[in-house]
């Protein structure tokens, strides 16, 4: 049997149905290469868990590298400042590109900053908790991005693209300095070819505007479920690379099971592959999909369980009530009625679950679960 080409939990071999989003990123990034302009305001993608934010950003990073840009990747965290991670990532990116002697001055500056910020690994978080040090980190962050962007532009790397995953988790000071930096780069008399592309949960847009009022100029793009064509491609194309086909009815069954949820698409592919054990020239059939169904549901259940594990009793009650009302979009008032409390009493868990990406508003006070099958899981398990 060929190894499974599906990737539940990691970067998919084929990123389906995100052509428009990749194009948006490409447009932003290409502003840098032309005349060394800045990448403009923040471009940020937001969606519930498992919809493919990290995958989109990783693919975009590959695109940017292939197009010759210098790139760095950082992940927002609320338990430590971002500057030390960013400095390390920048150093690594510069070394990888083998600029040799030319990058010596910049690398030296990065080393210096690393020392100023505290040696990484030596409890960076602890050394940077006082306000003044955080401020220093903030100013330094902008300075470094600016220098690195100009350096990249002057040395055939067109510009610097910074990818920030889980942006909403980043500390307020870091969010501020990234946004202030971008605004500053955009208006600077000297071109500063730096773009920041972010991704995060539905609480990302408020986390941006909280950090800077002009953050509203950011471009927010919501990532949705995959459509049927995208699911079919995500299932079919990775197999094709191994000369393995999926029958049409097997694809239809996969589309039905997936509900457009990217993580489940990978699970379906992976579990079905494991049952079919296909070799080159063979075809995966609907029978294989049916046999894999139990395992697929089990693995989804595992996902739901870990998600629910951290819910407080108040939150549990809210979810149980919401699931009891039904699968479709449900009225907030109906959830309150199910719990026997006034509508205002459910606003706290409601907002918490929206922020964490469990549920989303659909307009006119209605809410729905973001992951297909979650409501049924709650009904059967709580
Ligand atoms: N466009 C896509 N086509 C096919 N598979 C995808 C696509 N996007 C994501 N996936 C798959 O879905 C799963 C979740 O993707 P990813 O980790 O990128 O989501 P996420 O939104 O970053 O989730 P989280 O919020 O938990 O960080 C992975 O297994 C990945 O392989
Ligand atoms: Mg992610």
Render pLDDT for 271-330 as a digit per residue (tens, 0 to 9): 999 999 999 999 999 999 999 999 999 999 988 888 888 888 889 999 999 999 988 899
Q: Are residues 113 and 73 in the same domain?
A: yes
> What is the 9 CA–ligand 2 centroid distance (Å)?
9
Q: What is the DSSP letter of 157?
A: S
What confidence category does residue 163 fall into, taking pLDDT thresholds of 50, 70 and 90?
very high
Q: Are residues 333 and 369 in the same domain?
A: yes
Q: Which one has a higher pLDDT value, 361 or 277?
A: 277
Q: How many Cβ atoms sit within 10 Å of the Cβ of residue 195?
A: 28
> What is the 12 CA–ligand 1 centroid distance (Å)?
7
Ligand 1 atom 6 nearest Cα: 262
Q: Mean pLDDT across the chain, nearest whole number?
A: 89
Identify whether 6 is part of a domain: no
Identify whether 69 is part of a domain: yes
Ligand 1 atom 31 nearest Cα: 12
> What is the 161 CA–ligand 1 centroid distance (Å)?
21
User: Rounded CA gap, 173 and 169, in Å?
Assistant: 11
97 neighbors 70 (Cβ within 8 angstroms): yes
Q: Domain end: 222, 248, 269, which one?
A: 222
> Among 10, 44, 46, 263, which residue has the most ligand 1 atoms within 8 Å of its CB, making it the best to mutate?
263
What confidence category does residue 132 fall into, taking pLDDT thresholds of 50, 70 and 90?
very low
Residue 331 has a pLDDT of: 92
> What is the 21 CA–ligand 1 centroid distance (Å)?
14
78 neighbors 170 (Cβ within 8 angstroms): yes
Q: Are residues 166 and 119 in the same domain?
A: yes
Instruction: Return the HEC string of 252-299.
Output: HHHHHHHCCCHHHHHHHHHHHHHHHCCCCCCEECHHHHHHHHHHHHHH
pLDDT digits (tens, 9 = 90+) for 23-81: 999 999 998 887 778 888 999 999 988 999 999 999 999 999 999 999 999 999 999 98
Beta-bridged to residue 43, according to DSSP, are 197, 219
Among 82-86, 196-200, 315-319, the range of highest mean pLDDT? 196-200
Ligand in nearest proximity to the CA of 58: 1
Residue entry with tokens 């080409």 = 5
Among 91-95, 172-176, 289-293, 331-335, the range of highest mean pLDDT? 289-293
Residue 137 has a pLDDT of: 56
Q: Are residues 127 and 237 in the same domain?
A: no
Q: What is the mean pLDDT of residues 94-99?
A: 82
Q: How far is CA 373 from CA 178, 234, 242, 261, in A?
A: 37, 20, 31, 10
Residue 108 has a pLDDT of: 85
Instruction: Check pLDDT > 70 for residue 206.
Output: yes
Q: Are residues 138 and 25 in the same domain?
A: yes
List, chain by chain if needed, residues with CB within 6 Å of any ligand 1 atom: 7-10, 12, 15-18, 47, 49-55, 234, 262-263, 265-266
Helices (H), the chain: 19-33, 53-66, 83-96, 104-117, 124-127, 131-154, 172-187, 204-211, 228-240, 248-258, 262-276, 286-309, 313-325, 332-339, 347-355, 374-381
**Domains held by the chain: number:** 3
Identify whether 1 is part of a domain: no
Phi and psi, residue 42, nearest 5°: -60, 140
Q: Which residues contact 252 (CB under 8 A, 6 or more apart)?
A: 286
Instruction: Check pLDDT > 50 for residue 15.
Output: yes
Residue 361: strand, helix, or coil: strand
Q: Are residues 172 and 87 in the same domain?
A: yes
* Cα torsion angle, 243, 247, 248, 252, sign: negative
Identify whether 5 is part of a domain: no
Q: Are residues 256 and 206 in the same domain?
A: no
163 neighbors 23 (Cβ within 8 angstroms): no
What confidence category does residue 95 fall into, taking pLDDT thresholds of 50, 70 and 90?
confident
User: What is the span of the domain harbouring residue 376?
Assistant: 311-381
Q: What is the mean pLDDT of residues 2-30?
A: 94
Choose the weakest-confidence range: 112-116, 136-140, 161-165, 335-339: 136-140
Ligand 1 atom 27 nearest Cα: 49
Residue 308 has a pLDDT of: 84
- Let me know how long the chain is: 382
> What is the 184 CA–ligand 2 centroid distance (Å)?
28
Q: How far is CA 45 from CA 22, 49, 122, 208, in A?
A: 11, 12, 33, 12
Q: Are residues 298 and 370 in the same domain?
A: no
Residue 151 has a pLDDT of: 86
169 neighbors 76 (Cβ within 8 angstroms): yes
Q: How far is CA 97 from the centre of its chain?
A: 25
> What is the 49 CA–ligand 2 centroid distance (Å)?
7
Residue 97 has a pLDDT of: 81
Q: In this structure, what token pair is assigned to residue 361?
A: 């508003």
Q: Which residues of 82-92 are buried (b: 16+ CB within 10 A; e: fewer)?
A: bbbbbbbbbbe
* Cα torsion angle, 259, 263, 264, 268, sign: positive
Q: Domain end: 248, 283, 308, which one?
A: 308
Residue 119 has a pLDDT of: 53
Instruction: Check pLDDT > 80 for residue 382.
Output: no
Residue 138 has a pLDDT of: 62
> Among 4, 9, 12, 302, which residue has the most ligand 1 atoms within 8 Å of its CB, making it the best to mutate?
12
Name the strand (E) or helix (H) holding 102.
Answer: none
53 neighbors 46 (Cβ within 8 angstroms): yes
> Among 55, 62, 198, 355, which residue has the most ligand 1 atoms within 8 Å of its CB, making it the best to mutate?
55
Q: Are residues 315 and 346 in the same domain?
A: yes
Q: Domain end: 202, 222, 242, which one?
A: 222
> What is the 37 CA–ligand 1 centroid distance (Å)?
31
* Burial environment of residue 360 by CB neighbours within 10 A (0 to 12, 13 to 18, 19 or more): middle
Choose the weakest-confidence range: 132-136, 191-195, 213-217: 132-136
Identify whether 167 is part of a domain: yes
Residue 152 has a pLDDT of: 86
Q: How far is CA 42 from CA 68, 127, 164, 181, 195, in A?
A: 21, 29, 10, 10, 8
* Cα torsion angle, 211, 212, 216, 219, sign: negative
Q: Are residues 131 and 271 in the same domain?
A: no
Q: Are residues 147 and 168 in the same domain?
A: yes
Q: Are residues 361 and 349 in the same domain?
A: yes
What confidence category does residue 122 fall into, taking pLDDT thresholds of 50, 70 and 90?
very low
Q: What is the mean pLDDT of residues 253-268?
A: 96
Residue 136 has a pLDDT of: 54
């Amino acid at each position: 049997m060929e190894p499974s080409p599906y990737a539940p939990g990691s970067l998919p071999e084929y990123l389906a149905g995100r052509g428009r989003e990749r194009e948006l990123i490409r447009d932003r990034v290409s502003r840098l290469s032309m005349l060394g302009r800045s990448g403009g305001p923040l471009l940020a993608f937001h969606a519930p868990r498992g919809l493919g934010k990290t995958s989109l950003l990783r693919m975009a990073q590959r695109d940017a590298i292939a197009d010759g840009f210098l790139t760095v990747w950082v992940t927002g965290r609320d338990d430590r400042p971002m500057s030390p991670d960013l400095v390390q990532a920048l150093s690594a990116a510069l070394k990888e590109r083998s600029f040799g002697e030319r990058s010596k001055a910049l690398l030296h500056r990065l080393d210096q900053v690393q020392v100023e910020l505290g040696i990484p690994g030596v409890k960076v978080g602890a050394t940077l908790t006082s306000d003044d040090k955080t401020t220093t980190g903030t100013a330094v962050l902008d300075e470094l991005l600016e220098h690195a962007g100009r350096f990249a532009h002057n040395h055939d790397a067109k510009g610097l693209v910074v990818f920030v995953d889980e942006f909403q988790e980043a500390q307020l000071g870091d969010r501020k300095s990234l946004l202030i930096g971008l605004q500053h780069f955009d208006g600077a008399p000297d071109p500063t070819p730096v773009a920041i592309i972010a991704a995060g949960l539905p609480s990302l847009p408020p986390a941006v505007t909280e950090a800077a009022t002009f953050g509203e100029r950011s471009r927010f793009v919501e990532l949705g479920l995959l459509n049927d064509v995208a699911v079919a491609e995500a299932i079919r194309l990775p197999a094709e690379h191994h000369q393995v086909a999926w029958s049409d009815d097997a694809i239809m069954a996969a589309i039905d099971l997936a509900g457009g949820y990217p993580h489940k698409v990978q699970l379906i592919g992976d579990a079905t592959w494991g049952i079919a054990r296909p070799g080159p020239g063979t075809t995966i059939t609907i029978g294989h999909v049916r046999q894999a169904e139990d395992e697929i549901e089990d693995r989804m259940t595992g996902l739901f369980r870990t998600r629910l594990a951290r819910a407080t009793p108040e939150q549990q009650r809210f979810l149980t009530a919401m699931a009891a009302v039904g699968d479709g979009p449900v009225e907030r008032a109906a959830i309150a009625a199910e719990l026997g409390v006034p509508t205002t009493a459910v606003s706290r868990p409601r907002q918490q679950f929206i922020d964490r990406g469990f549920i989303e508003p659909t307009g006119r006070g209605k809410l729905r679960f973001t992951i297909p099958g979650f409501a049924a899981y709650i009904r059967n398990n709580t």
